[in-house]
Amino acid sequence: MITLQSICFAYPDGTNVFEDFSWEVGSGEAWAVLGPSGCGKTTLLYLLAALRHPTAGEIRISGEPLFKPRPRTGLILQDYGLLPWATVRENVALGLRLRRFYGPDGVHSPADERIPELADRIDPWLERLALLSIAESYPAQISGGQRQRTAIARTLALDPDLLLMDEPFASLDAPTREGLQALTIELRNERGLTTVIVTHAIEEAALLGRRILLLGMIPNTSAMVYDNPGATHSTYRDTSEYASMCAQLRRAMEAIA
């Protein structure tokens, strides 16, 4: 699904984040990217979203070289990225309205997509993510968890095949976070999505990543990968396998620092 081939990336100020870095993500895989602050996790995600571009090397998604944001890639950020002037319903509809705005041009929206009634595509997601009762509220009026559910509904309404999440639950309280983690696993299993979730929390990586990429000190030159095949359900949290995965990751992170 995703291939990074010997990519390099440095910020204009000279901070070198990736150097000759290669990594591969298979279709339908569930990845977590873990690492300390400043290790380049978010940069990696922005590279995958084509919001930043490697200075050397190549990124391919579904075999295509990646130059601009791909219509079938969904991106969910910690700060939700909702339009403050639009209601929950309008925010969820935003992606579809953008596709209508451009038409099926294959650049901004998939070439093979016809969008019927917006409501037909949106209402099921509003219902699924328990947003119907607040559909006419503005982002400032709802809780953090509701905002993130709105962002998730907006992304999933576009029927993505690749979901990128950047610390999506970091600013939520623990019960809300656990609820959304369970929902993420559920949706992922249901839709066979390829997911890459960036997190600084070991527990989150061990719960959501069936494969875990650990980034260390920059520049990153090689991918440290941990397999975590048991992470298929939110009850994984209660297993000893999970606990030992967390311990293993914690030791690895301490070794980096």
Partner 1 sequence: MKRGQVLVAAVAIGLVWQALAVLVRRPILPPPTVVLQSFLTELPRDLGEHFVASLWRVVASIALSVALAVPAGLVLGQSPRLNQIFSPAIYLLFPIPKVVLVPVVLLFFGIGDLPKIIIIFMILFFQILVLVRDQAAGLRPELLHSVRSLGAGRRALFRFVYLPASLPAILTALRQSVGTAVAVLYVAELFATRRGLGYYIYFTGSTLFDYPKMYAGVLAMSLLGLGMYFAVDWLHHRLCAWQFTR
| Residue 88 or 249 having the CB closest to partner 1 | 88
Is residue 220 involved in binding partner 1 (CB under 8 A)? no
Report the C-alpha gap between 245 and 48 in whole angstroms.
Answer: 26
- Say if CB 121 and CB 96 are below 8 A apart: yes
* Residues between 148 and 167 that touch partner 1 (CB under 8 A): 151, 154-155, 158, 164
Determine which helix (DSSP H) or strand (DSSP E) holds 76, and give its type and residue range: strand 73-77
Task: From 86-94, 126-134, 167-175, 225-233, give the range in contact with partner 1 by CB under 8 A.
Answer: 86-94
Report the nearest approach of partner 1 to the CB of residue 20 (Å). Answer: 26
| Residue 1 or 94 having the CB closest to partner 1 | 94
Residue found by looking up tokens 């990543």 in the block: 209
Residue found by looking up tokens 């982002």 in the block: 139
Angle at which helices 144-156 and 88-102 pack, to 10 degrees? 20
Is residue 140 involved in binding partner 1 (CB under 8 A)? yes
- Burial of 5: CB neighbours in 10 Å, binned 0-12, 13-18, 19+: middle
What is the contact mask toward partner 1 in residues 94 to 133, using x (rule: CB under 8 A)? xx-xxx-xx----xxx------------------------
User: Residues with Cβ < 8 Å from 119, sequence gap 6 or more?
Assistant: none
| Residue 84 or 192 having the CB closest to partner 1 | 84
Read off the tokens for 239.
């297993």
Question: How far apart are the two ends of the chain, measured CA to CA in Å?
Answer: 31
Pick from 164, 123, 173: which is nearest to 146 by CA?
Answer: 173
Question: From the list 43, 73, 194, 228, which residue makes contact with partner 1 (rule: CB under 8 A)?
Answer: 73
Is residue 83 involved in binding partner 1 (CB under 8 A)? yes
Question: From the list 33, 61, 75, 165, which residue makes contact with partner 1 (rule: CB under 8 A)?
Answer: 75
What is the contact mask toward partner 1 in residues 164 to 193, using x (rule: CB under 8 A)? x-----------------------------
What is the amino acid identity at position 5? Q
Number of residues that bind partner 1 (CB under 8 A): 39
Pick from 149, 197, 203: which is nearest to 176 by CA?
Answer: 149
**Residues in the site for partner 1, rule: CB under 8 A?**
46, 49, 51, 69, 71, 73-87, 94-95, 97-99, 101-102, 107-109, 137-138, 140-141, 151, 154-155, 158, 164
